[in-house]
Amino acid sequence: MKSFAVTVIATAALVAPLAWAQPKPSLLADKSALVADLMRQMTLEEKVGQLRLISIGPEMPAPQLAEEIAAGRVGGTFNSINHKEQRPLQEAAVGKSRLRIPVLFAYDVLHGHRTSFPIGLGLASTWDMDAVRLTARTAAVEAAADGVDVTFAPTVDISRDPRWGRTSEGFGEDPHLVSQVARAMVQGFQNGARRGEVLQRDSIMASVKHFALYGAVEGGRDYNIVDMSPMRMYNDYLPPYKAAIDAGSGGVMIALNTVNGQPATSNTWLLQDLLRKDWGFKGVTFSDHGAITELMRHGVARDEREAAKLAITAGVDMSMADQVYLKELPGLVKSGQVPMKTLDNAVREVLGTKYDLGLFHDPFLRIGKAEDDPADLKADSRLHRPPARDVARRSLVLLENRNRTLPIAKGASVALVGPLADAPIDMIGVWSAQAVWKQAVTLRSGMEQALAGKGKMLYARGANVSEDKAVVEYLNFLNWDEPEVVQDKRSPQEMIDEAVAAAGQADVVVAAVGESRGMSHESSSRTRLDLPESQQALLKALKATGKPLVIVLMNGRPLTLGWEQANADAMLETWFAGTEGGHAIADVLFGDANPSGKLPLSLPRSVGQIPTYYNYPRLGRPFTPGKPGNYTSQYFDEPQGALYPFGYGLSYTEFEVSKPVLSASTVKAGGTVEASVTVKNTGDRAGETVVQLYIQDVAASVVRPVKELKGFRKLMLQPGETQVVKFAIGNEQLSFYNQQLQRVSEPGGFNVQIGLNSRDVQEASFELLP
């Protein structure tokens, strides 16, 4: 992808107005000496204070939080991004608290900060790790300028059940792809700094979440239990967390769910044996919001004292929005129920993290100047619009394009309809940090700008996102301080009539349909994944006009799109594309950009078919296409397999991929075989595509998946151009965790499959020798 300069906004004051005493140079130069020196001086209560992450809220107004900090009872705060809020808190810490230990500022920076980039699923759909890294880098620059030290991101929970609303936040269903994205995000946030290195002023510390397995909540219902075999855990769900940690993520946020019968928050195996011992993680762990108190509701702690004891013993360093550490830890330590060493371990991580954040060098490092007007931070000039537009273009997945309906000629007259056509709030998705929704380009405005002076555009809303009162109430409840969900008061039929009339005057209809952003969020689990009825009725009426129908989907999870697939002339999945979404989508609709996004998860045919992931384990009685019959694993009332497979996405040009050629038909253990294919752009315009490498272990000591993604390459080809793509296949690609949870590659046959999606592949085979 193109490289973009990320503007570093110099807001941090080098010399803070408050005179604060920097630690002695000899200590400042030596992290462990500084931490040890502080710990020698700390009282028990001050140690406990360092473990508390508290935000300003109705129960903790800002002045009270400042008092708590001055009293040494708080180690960090979250959700304070305004330097007018932050400065007094940091002044209380370094000006008033006995030991002058700075507080850290944390925030959820997931897909951009002031500039909103596409949501997680959109980022993953780019299959472009430079693009992904750039979004995190840009977010870090913007967030650091807002005083943020730590982000609770990336969210790398593998999700195979789109009923789960947080599917939107993660990067899909595949361990390899999600791991690559996880790594790129951490590198971007931290600007390449490893854990334990001091971060630059314009970088923020990543804190990978939700450790672990949060995406596997039963039934896709948020906060539900998770129960899974160890092999599945190791092979499929844990790799992305590990990848983020290997990339240097300074922090880890602990999941709300159970792992093997024990809440993650009290799970010593997870937080000690796996995370710290096996993976060698040395950094800070954060509980999720109120999770320590929730140990009582889980039924593993009788009371707050036991909850605090379980959490600190398991290895929860900082407690988020919880009072139980404050109330209970001093007593637990005094009575000997929690060894001082356990407490010290947690405090050491928190102080070490503050050192790595550069806060002992300058506690005001990332906090804006006292005289800065916070409103200026919202100025459009601070946004990074060009990379947002570029990445958003790359995130769009073309699902259908019959008769080359797209791109639309700019001279055409276009009817734009649908409840998401002019919905700036939805465009930025949830977890939109400090993005200002009024700065988001809607599809309506993007298309108007693209057509200016060239074609004609008619607009009609056509439908509300939903007419279901309960849904609208839920969305308003979620909409925090934003305006209420816009509900057009006209009757559904009136709105449809208007849209149909617009369609009648147009050459082509573009229908922007899908979900409101709140429908794909924390706690927003759905039992149905089709478009709400109001929108289905709109689409059917538009179809009946006979005009070419282009469906532009905006949604935060896979939807079931049977009717849409059968009836759309073209269909573009845009997820929630961010601040520049409207421009990017218009670029693709009118052919100024050629779509290259690929699905990071399978789109199911129906809710009943879930889970529909492509890399499922092999079966004794698999369904065999073309050989229907009884007693195979199938649903008899529906075609098998995903409606759109993992890795799928069309382009305005066509590509041909040759059969894979292998460098050898046998390879010794530890050796490497090279697979190569020739890819040709056989169409008439330049375009990018993603060549995907899948491996199948023919016979192993345990049941292995039908195929697994093990590599991919995104390439740009001019019309007629060919390129040879090579993949090295060695131990890394062939090994897996066996029943003893040892990582092994086993001698025997392997099938190498290469294609432009997970379903349509060509195969070659080789033998791994002992």
**484 Cβ contact partners less than 8 Å away, ≥ 6 residues apart:** 476
Task: Quote the least distance from Cβ 319 to ligand NOJ, whole Å.
Answer: 12
Residue whose CB is less far from ligand NOJ, 47 or 517: 517
Residue nearest to ligand NOJ (CB): 152
Task: Mark 154-193 with x for binding to ligand NOJ (rule: CB under 6 A) and - for no binding.
Answer: ----------------------------------------
Nearer to ligand NOJ, 108 or 246 (CB): 108
When the beta carbons of 117 and 736 are compared against ligand NOJ, the nearer one is 117
Which position has the token pair 């190569």?
Answer: 676
d(CA 160, CA 146): 35
Main-chain dihedrals φ then ψ at residue 418, nearest 5 degrees: 115, 150
**Can you tell me the distance from the alpha carbon of 70 to that of 669, in angstroms, rounded to the nearest whole number?**
61
Is 362 part of the annotated catalytic residue set? no
**Cα separation, 710 vs 705, whole angstroms:** 12
Token pair belonging to 520: 């794909």
- List b or e across 287-316, with b for residues whose CB sees 16 or more CB atoms inside 10 angstroms: bbbbbbbbbeebebbeebbbbbbbbbbbbb
Strand partners, 603: 644
Smallest separation (angstroms) from ligand NOJ to the CB of 184: 20
Does residue 108 interact with ligand NOJ by CB under 6 A? yes
Q: Does 298 bind ligand NOJ (CB under 6 A)?
A: no
Are 518 and 474 within 8 A, CB to CB? Answer: yes
Amino acid in position 319: S
Which structure tokens are listed for 651? 């382009």
| Residue linked to tokens 């532009």 | 552
Q: Which of 110/441 has CB closer to ligand NOJ? A: 110
Burial pattern 70-105, b for ≥16 Cβ within 10 A else e, equals bebbbbbbbebbbbebbbbbbbbbbbebebbbbbbb
Residues in the chain: 770
Element of type H or E holding 722: strand 722-729
**Contact string (CB under 6 A) for ligand NOJ, positions 247-286, x = contact:** ----------------------------------------
Q: Of 12-71, which residues contact ligand NOJ (CB under 6 A)?
A: none
Nearest to 750 by CA among 767, 727, 732: 767
Give the largest CA-CA distance in the chain: 80
Closer residue to ligand NOJ, CB minimum distance, 286 or 652? 286
Pick one of 105, 117, 127, 152: the residue that binds ligand NOJ (CB under 6 A): 152
Give me the least distance between CB of 288 and ligand NOJ, in Å please.
5
The residue (of 128 and 522) whose beta carbon lies closer to ligand NOJ is: 522
User: Quick one: which of 391, 397, 403 has its CA closest to 690?
Assistant: 397
Cβ proximity to ligand NOJ: between 171 and 360 the closer is 171
Q: What is the DSSP string of 539-606?
A: HHHHHHTTS-EEEEEE-SS----HHHHHH-SEEEE-----TTHHHHHHHHHTTSS------SSPBPS-
Is residue 521 near ligand NOJ by the rule CB under 6 A?
A: no
Nearer to ligand NOJ, 324 or 433 (CB): 433
Which of 322, 349, 390, 522 touches ligand NOJ (CB under 6 A)? Answer: 522
Site size for ligand NOJ, by CB under 6 A?
6
Written as six digits, the tokens of 131 are: 């693009």
Residue 705 bridge partners (DSSP): 617
Between 54 and 301, name the residue whose CB sits nearer to ligand NOJ: 54
289: contact with ligand NOJ by CB under 6 A: yes
Residue (of 760, 729, 688) closest to 125 by Cα position: 688
CB of 514 to ligand NOJ, least distance (A): 23
Q: Is 223 left (phi over 0), alpha (psi -120 to 50) or beta?
A: left
State which of residues 209, 309, 389, 598 lies at the interface with ligand NOJ (CB under 6 A). 209
CA-CA distance, 754 to 34, in Å (whole number)?
Answer: 53
CB of 119 to ligand NOJ, least distance (A): 14
Shortest spacing between CB 223 and ligand NOJ, in angstroms? 9
Nearest approach in angstroms of CB 557 to ligand NOJ is: 17
DSSP state letter for 343:
H
**What is the nearest approach in angstroms of ligand NOJ to the Cβ of residue 275?**
18
At residue 695, what are phi and psi to the nearest 5 degrees?
-125, 140
**Residue 151 Cβ vs ligand NOJ, minimum distance, rounded to whole Å:** 9
Closer CB to ligand NOJ, residue 264 or residue 338?
264
Q: How far is the CB of 209 from ligand NOJ (least distance, A)?
A: 6
Q: How far is the CB of 76 from ligand NOJ (least distance, A)?
A: 12
| d(C-alpha 763, C-alpha 770), whole Å | 23
Residues 6+ apart with CB under 8 A from 683: 651, 652, 653, 654, 655, 719
Nearer to ligand NOJ, 275 or 538 (CB): 275
Establish if 288 lies at the interface with ligand NOJ (CB under 6 A): yes
Residues 116-145 binding ligand NOJ (CB under 6 A) are none
The active-site residue, picked from 202, 288, 356, 587, is: 288
Residue 236 near ligand NOJ by CB under 6 A: no
Q: How far is CA 542 from the centre of its chain?
A: 34
Q: Which residues bind ligand NOJ (CB under 6 A)?
A: 108, 152, 209, 288-289, 522
Active-site residue numbers?
288
